[in-house]
Structure formats: structure tokens, C-alpha cells
Structure 1
């Protein structure tokens, strides 16, 4: 057993830590597995010289972490459809080796090319920290208390607590995201946006800050949506009116019908995935980012979207 971020982590056999991943098990061994612990994904090919140098170093670094992270190796030549689909979603897979850290279902960090062992160790450390490991100075308990305040509707008290935490640790991503969400709950969207714009670069792409950004974007969208009833009637009258379907999805989300909004966006994507420069997929990712990674709406929606992308 080892200690990580104040919690006891069980050691795992190397076979569980390092896996060859294909399109068939990508969702299970990367996306879903990263809900529990960071997954380092090594995109490689047999003809790639730097890959032959980097992969053993990655395996060594992951093994040294003793269960805090796992390694998924993906041969891009044998999984071309998967690589193309991930590239369409924004991963820069034009050159290899490319190494991506997945945390809570999303890529949070990456590098390309062979790097020294010290940089690999630092990369893995950042992935662990992004997943909530290495808790700093016991502040996570205070964050949990502030989150409880926010859930109970005491947004002002939550904002004050998050702000106090950030005075102790200005780069505490969970507290930073919480402060933004507290101001969203207070209806002060300008202040929420100002806080986001001032996020330290070290945490600006963290899952907590990205989630707060997505929630702010959705809240701003809600101000301009039309009535759900009118938009529903419009879509029923003309199912191919994709703009009306997109507007309906936004209206449904604004009214708290998140699953229904996701369903409409998935149907829009099924009808025309490229409509309005891929607006349906972008809106789905915004909704997914705003929710907790293990939310059933996220898990089901991501799985269904992936099945359509790979179809």
C-alpha cells in the first residue's frame, strides 16, 4: 500500500496498469477508467523510432506511480478509425508519439515526441494532481464544506469560503471552479466571467475550471432561448428544421430538462453531424463538461455519441 494525496492507494499488478487498447475497449479502458484514476494514453506505431524509446520510459514511470495512474497504448495504424475520430474531437494526432492524460473522461494534458524521464514524471504528477491527488494543506475538506453550502442554496457563504481557500492556495482548481459556480448561482455572471478570465494559467485547463466555464456558457445561453412549447411544435412540424431542434435543445437545458436536451442534440448529430460547423457535438461537449463526469447523462450521452462517430 502507498499514500497518495492523504489517501491509501492499493498497489496494482503491472498487467492492470499497462494495457493495449483498441477501438473496441477505448470507452471502457480509457474514458470510463479515467473516472477512477488518470489514464495516460500513448499513441504510437511500429515504424516510429521515437516511440520505441518513449514507450518503455512511460511504462517505467507508470509502474513507479504504483496505481495512481494507468497506461493505455494505442497503435494508430491498427486503430485508424479511432485515431481519426479522436482527431476530429480536437486531439492533435498528426504526429506520433503523442501522449495524452485523460482525467474524469476528458483529455487534460498532452505532449508530443520523446522527452526526458524527468519530464515524464512531471507529466504524470500533473495528471494525478488534476484528478484531485496530492491535496494541499488539508484545504479539500474546506472545499467539500463550501460545495455543501452551494448545494443547499447558501451561495454567498460558499463564495466566501471558496475565496478564503484561494487566499491560502491561489492555484486550488476545485476552489477556483467553485467560486465561479457560486457567482453563477448568485446570478452575477459578469463577476463569474471576470474570475474565469483571471484564472492562473496553471489551472486554467483543469477539469474544475473547465466545468465552471461550461456552466457559465450554458447560463448565458439561457437568457436568449425561446419557449419550449413553441420550439417543440416547430420541430414536430418539420423534423428537418435543425436550427429549431438546436434552439429546442438549449431551451430544454435552460428549463432543467438536461437529458431531453442531450437527446435532441444527439438526434441533430445523427441527422447532420456537420451542421453549423459541428454545433451539435460542440454543444454536447459543453453540457457534458458542465456536469459531473460520472453523471448518468454524461456516461450515456458520450457512449451514444461515440457509437455514432464510429458507425
Structure 2
């Protein structure tokens, strides 16, 4: 190698390879004369800045000034964008031309790779605290759960799981308007995340099933006439709002078993919403899904 090529390699090693030992380095191969490169640059810079605390850094390689490096990577067209971790290329990000596309690809990589970033360290610290809040919420202690998630929100105001837990705790505590306002205040891209959709489902359920102070009249109505599906549906909703998810699920399932198409499948739809609120990966949901499948397909 010529002295210039050696210098280029040393620079690349210092600016790209060494940082990639612990971080995900997004390498942008570009040139001053390249129009598409200039259009892509703001997208890369913005998303890389947003993901900096997650261990993502952006390295820009001018192919005109670094022809030797570009040749080593067999760059035949620009812009070309790669991701490197621990000195190895782990993804071709060239097809990601919008912020949304780039975020999706980065999120997938960050889930798969042991990247060291401030956000990952914070997640590790918050995980047991969030789990505690979820357990308290599942146990029906809405006030205590809300207190826990309020404290977590002070620590991590933008954490999606914390936002979701706090909104669902507000719903469980009967503060439906506050929960709705919290969702409305979220940025559009955050409001579409699965964690927030789970909270939105909880809000939707609360709007469709207001709290009932005394369940005795509904229980008496069902006992007197088991074919009164509206009473059974209202009782299941009331139990759900009261935090009795087992009783709610049992009620909805009994309606589906007796008359699956009653009220255009309202019981099954409400049960599926309850699954979303509890969390589709929750073992309780898996067990209830098996019961529903047995009724529908058994």
C-alpha cells in the first residue's frame, strides 16, 4: 500500500472499526456530486442522533477522497449504507431511504446485537421496576401501580413501556380522561408503537365498559336467566373493569360457547381487546386463547 492508502486504512480503523467494537456504526458512502446522497444525509444524521444513546454512531466516507476504502468494500454505486458491529458488516441499510424505514432496520439490529448504550443500561435498570408495576397493576391495585409508574416516568419520561404502564394505571384508577389526554399528547410515531396500542386498547375497553358499583343485580339477572346474553355480557364487562380478568374471560367465553355470533360477535371482540390489554405474550392470555380455540374449533 502507498503511504496515502495506509493513512486511509488507519483513519478508517480509528473512526469506524474501533468504535464498532461496542457500538453499531452506520457507514454512509457518499460523494459531493451525488444528489441522492445529499437527500439521504439529513435522514441518516437525524436518526443517528436519535439513536445515539442506544449505541448508534454515523460514519461518513467520501468515496472521492477515500477511493481505496471504497474499493475494499466494492462500492459500485452511491449512496451505499452499511452497518458494522465488532468490525464486521451486519446489514445493508441502503434500501432505507426514510426515517421510518431506517428506524425499523436499526430497531431490529439492536434487538439482535449486544450493543452497549445508555438506553440499554437504562432498560436494564428499569426492567425490574416496570415488572413490579405491571404485577401490582395486574393484582388490581391501580392506585399503587399509578404511583409506581409516576415515579418511573420521572426517571424515564419517554420510555414506551413506562408510558404504557402509566396510561393503563390511569385507566384502572378510573382516570379515563387523564389517560386519553396522555395518549393525545404523544408524538404520532410513538402513539403507533405496540406498547401504546396496548394502552389505547385499555382506554377503549374502559370507554365501552363503565364501572359498576354493585355487581349483585347483574349476577342475579344471569342466575335467573342464563340465556340473557346482554346481562352476561354486562356482568363480564363489569368484572373486567373491577380487575377480575378471570371472571370476565369466563363470562365472555360462556357467551361465545352458547351463541358465538350474538350481537355480531361482541363477546369475542371484547375478549380479544382484553387480551391486548393484558399483553399477547402473557401466559394468562395464552391459556385463555387455548380455551377460545377449543370453543371455536373443537
- TM tier, shorter chain? 0.5 to 0.7
Report if aligned partners of 2:236, 2:247 keep a CA contact under 8 Å in 1.
yes
Candidates 150, 171, 188, aligned match of 1:159: 150
Aligned residues of 2:218 and 2:232 also touching (Cα < 8 A): yes
Unpaired runs of at least 5, structure 1 = 7-115
Which of residues 238, 242, 245 in structure 1 aligns to 2:229? 242
CA contact (8 A) 1:262 1:284 kept: yes
Conserved 8 A contact 2:229-2:255 = yes
The answer for unaligned runs of 5 or more in structure 2 is: 1-21, 24-92
String of CA shifts for 1:4-50, please: whole Å, max 9, x gaps: x99xxxxxxxxxxxxxxxxxxxxxxxxxxxxxxxxxxxxxxxxxxxx
Q: Say whether 1:267 aligns with 2:254.
A: yes
The correspondence for 1:191, drawn from 162, 165, 178, is 178
Structure number with the higher helix fraction is 2
Q: CA offset at residue 265 of structure 1?
A: 0.4
Q: Is the 8 A contact 1:259 1:297 kept in 2?
A: no
* Alignment-derived partner of residue 142 in structure 1: 126
Which residue number corresponds to residue 23 of structure 1? Answer: none
1:229 aligns to 2:220 (yes or no): no
* CA displacement, residues 79-132 of structure 1 (integer Å, 9 cap, x when unaligned): xxxxxxxxxxxxxxxxxxxxxxxxxxxxxxxxxxxxx9946997565567799x
- Tell me the matched-pair count: 193
User: Are the aligned partners of 2:260 and 2:268 in contact in 1 as well (CA < 8 Å)?
Assistant: yes
Which has more radius of gyration?
2
Residues 118 and 146 (structure 1), Cα distance of their counterparts in 2 relative to 1, 3 Å cut: same
Q: CA deviation at 1:186?
A: 5.3
Q: Counterpart of 2:289?
A: 302
TM (norm. structure 2) is: 0.52
Shift of 1:182: 4.2
Q: Which has the higher contact order (CA 8 A, sep 6+)?
A: 1
- Taking a change above 3 Å as real, the CA distance of residues 161 and 129 of structure 1, as seen in their structure-2 partners, is same
Q: Secondary structure at the match of 1:240?
A: coil
RMSD: 3.7
After superposition, the Cα gap between the structure-2 partners of 1:307 and 1:128, relative to the gap in structure 1 and judged at 3 Å, is: farther
Query: 1:284 maps to which residue?
Result: 271
Distance 1:303 1:278, change over 3 A: same
